[in-house]
Amino acid sequence: MKQNTNGKKKKKGTTRYVVLVSLGTFFSACFLAIASQYLLKNFSFVLLSLLLLLLIIFIGIIFDIIGVAVTVADEAPFHARAARRTPGAQQAITLVREAHKVANICNDVVGDICGTVSGSLGAAIIFIIFLEGDPKKIIFSVLMTGLVSAITVGGKALGKTFAINKANEIVWQVAQILAWRELLNIKKSK
């Protein structure tokens, strides 16, 4: 009987998590799409628009690396650091223990939002460069789509290899950032 209750609680927790992640993704994607379109309209130079596009792609690649690293990392080395009370060790353990959620947020939420926004941003850049109706627009639109896809997929392929080979180091760096952030929040509240 106890097992059935735990199963229902786990299913309810999973459902709640999925709903929260879905809603968070929706609002984050809308916000980022509006922000990038606003910035794109205010960039008078195509070069700055391209830099914004590369930044969004880079963010997607970085979060993909983190998502892969937490799924591959070994928890044991972080226990030794936690025993010495090294800042970031507890955060690293939590990241590894919650790898399924961290990977989902990093790879699926942030990664997919960056992919979607970079695709629409690439299309908007083409629209800015070439007026609608220009036959060259189709060629450049196809080339921009290919370029955005190639940079994203190639960057993620390199990032995955790096994440698999350096998983513990990556998790440690992310954990240190989280620990530093928590420390700043504690100091602000005092």
CA dihedral 123, 129, 133, 138 (to 10 degrees): -50
Within 10 angstroms of residue 89's Cβ, the number of other Cβ atoms is 21
Rounded to a whole number, what is the largest CA-CA distance in the chain? 69
Residue 90 has pLDDT above 70, yes or no: yes
pTM (two decimals): 0.74
For residue 43, give the 3-state DSSP assignment. Answer: coil
| pLDDT value, residue 1 | 43
> What is the C-alpha to C-alpha distance for residues 120 and 95, in angstroms, rounded to an integer?
32
Residue 62: which of 96, 22, 107 has the closest Cα? 107
- Per the model's pLDDT, the better-predicted residue between 10 and 111 turns out to be 111
